[in-house]
Amino acid sequence: MTKPGFSFDVEQRLESGLGRAGVIHTPHGDIQTPAFTPVGTKATVKAVLPETMRELGAQVILANAYHLYLQPGADIVDEAGGLAAFMGWHGPTITDSGGFQVLSLGVGFKKILAMDAKSVRSDDVIAAGKDRLAHVDDDGVTFKSHLDGSMHRFTPEVSMQVQHQIGADIMFAFDECTTLLNTREYQERSVARTQAWAERCVAEHVRQTAARSHRPYQALFAVVQGAQYEDLRRQSARDLAALDVDGFGIGGALEKDRLGTIVRWVCEELPDDRPRHLLGIGEVSDIFAAVENGADTFDCVAPSRNARNGTVYHPVKGFHLTNGGYRRDFNPIDDTCDCYTCTHYTRAYVHHLLKAKEMLASTLATIHNERYIVRLLDRIRASIVAGHFTDLRDDVLNRDR
């Protein structure tokens, strides 16, 4: 299969560790890696114009296939000329497969996914299971729309068809996302299922690419699963590496205190010449651990969601801007930040907007948080190129708690 417009170049590697600086070339432009991917779930980064995202340095936006499939419908995004044209974003885009959302929405699942296995009470697992809106079998997932309760079914083929209609530059193979709480036996079966689904995705991807040759090539990344088990993670990575895919995702349950270790297991098995995207990670310490161990790109809703809740990032310590103490604080959120918000507005003004429940509060806080993470990744990339990654890491992590 010809893949015009998509490729990956490694520019510089870390002396220790698997990390690297590189460039992902896509039909809609380049992504300098390592890079953070802001999330625009429903074809919009909440409260921020695409031009503003570009100005704050975002290189690529990730949208959710599940959400766009339900609303407005993948066919409408297709008719609009694809995701980038539909949302007015003149740059690369990514869609996830929908696998995570069909399994997790309406369930306590997401919370459990991020927990330490030891800290979860069995009550939580039972509570999570009760509310489950989805049923998984070897062929696919049947799920209930969180919007209107209607029943739908995603298979690897449907996910590929939907993602081809949405038209992002990078797509993910349909995978089963498990939690740290599934049994070892279930994880084994699930990894095998994700492998089988990835193979079906590749086959459907080849068909879709041939049928839609009028559209730019869309790259396919296969998603490594295996939860907290080293042998399963390595096996999953090795098996997926044998497929004709353009890159890899690292998905599923990641114990926070072993995140770097798990990324390392996977990246030691993956081919060195294809990009690796760590799904759903955005905390500063996690980003350093992931980059060091070989991840090239990341996406996370946290900068945007935190902003809407009034939590803003700061190099010493992030804080809740809704606290009364900021009522007459006429400093910028972060006086070392070059973002539009920090160079134009005071904490007092954004505090006022938050208290008054004005939409502009979300806009201004999101601009700051997204810029904060994007800029951190720019600095990380520069540190890899210049050969002082560990100095930057130690400097940032000693300040950012």
Q: How far is the CB of 90 from a copy of itself (least distance, A)?
A: 10
Residue 178 near residue 253 (C-beta atoms within 8 A): yes
Nearer to a copy of itself, 316 or 359 (CB): 359
Q: Is 96 a catalytic residue?
A: yes
Stretch that binds a copy of itself, among 47-55, 131-139, 227-235, 279-287 (CB under 8 A): 47-55
Contact status: 76 vs a copy of itself (CB under 8 A)? yes
The sheet that has 297-300: what strands, in order across it?
A: 35-38, 297-300, 276-278, 247-250, 219-224, 170-172, 93-96, 61-64
Contacts for 250 with CB less than 8 Å, ≥ 6 apart: 223, 224, 262, 263, 266, 276, 277, 278, 279, 295
Residues 6+ apart with CB under 8 A from 271: 241
Among 33, 363, 369, 383, binds a copy of itself (CB under 8 A): 363
Regarding 146 and contact with a copy of itself (CB under 8 A), the answer is no
Question: 140 with 154: CB under 8 angstroms?
Answer: yes
Give 51 or 394: the residue with its C-beta nearer to a copy of itself. 51
Token pair in block for residue 243: 């497929």
Counting residues that bind a copy of itself (by CB under 8 A) gives 34
Q: Smallest gap, in angstroms, from Cβ of residue 51 to a copy of itself?
A: 8
Question: Quick check: 335 binds a copy of itself (CB under 8 A)?
Answer: no
Active site residue 123: no
Check residue 54 for interaction with a copy of itself (CB under 8 A): no
Q: Are 301 and 59 contacting, i.e. CB atoms less than 8 angstroms apart?
A: no
By CB under 8 A, which span of 6-14, 150-158, 210-218, 351-359 interacts with a copy of itself? 351-359
Burial of 297 per CB tally in 10 Å (0-12, 13-18, 19+): buried
Contact 393, 361 (CB under 8 A): no
Position of tokens 């599934």?
182
Among residues 43 and 384, whose Cβ is nearest to a copy of itself? 43
320 counts as binding a copy of itself under rule CB under 8 A: no
Residue numbers at the binding site for a copy of itself (CB under 8 A): 42-44, 46-49, 67, 71-72, 76, 79-80, 86-88, 327-328, 330, 344-346, 348-349, 351-353, 355-356, 358-360, 362-363
